[in-house]
Amino acid sequence: MSEPMQEQSNDQVSDNQGSDTQREVLGSPTPESGAERDPQEWVTGEEPMTGPQRSYLDTLARKAGEEIPADLTKAEASEHIERLQAKVDQ
C-alpha cells in the first residue's frame, strides 16, 4: 500500500455577491490519467517511514517470511509494501 501524494491547488470561487475569492482545495476537477508518482520523487520520500508504514511492513514481512531493515525512508517503505503485497497476495 503506498501513500498517494496529492498536490494542493487554489481555485477561484464566486461567493453569493459575485466577487471572486480563493480557497485551498485538494484533488482535481478532472481525474489524472497518468501513472502514480514514483515514491523516489516524493518531496518527503527521504523522511523516516511513518508509524503506520512500519506496522504494516512488519505484518507483511512476517507473512512473506522476510526480514526488512527498520530504518527505511517513506519511499523505501512504500516500495517494500507494494512488493510484499504482491508476494503475499499470490
Amino acid at 44: T
Tens of pLDDT along 27-62? 556 665 555 666 666 667 788 999 999 999 999 999
- Cut 0.85: pTM above it: no
Q: Quick one: residue 27, left, alpha or beta (phi over 0 = left, psi -120 to 50 = alpha)?
A: left
Strand partners, 26: 8
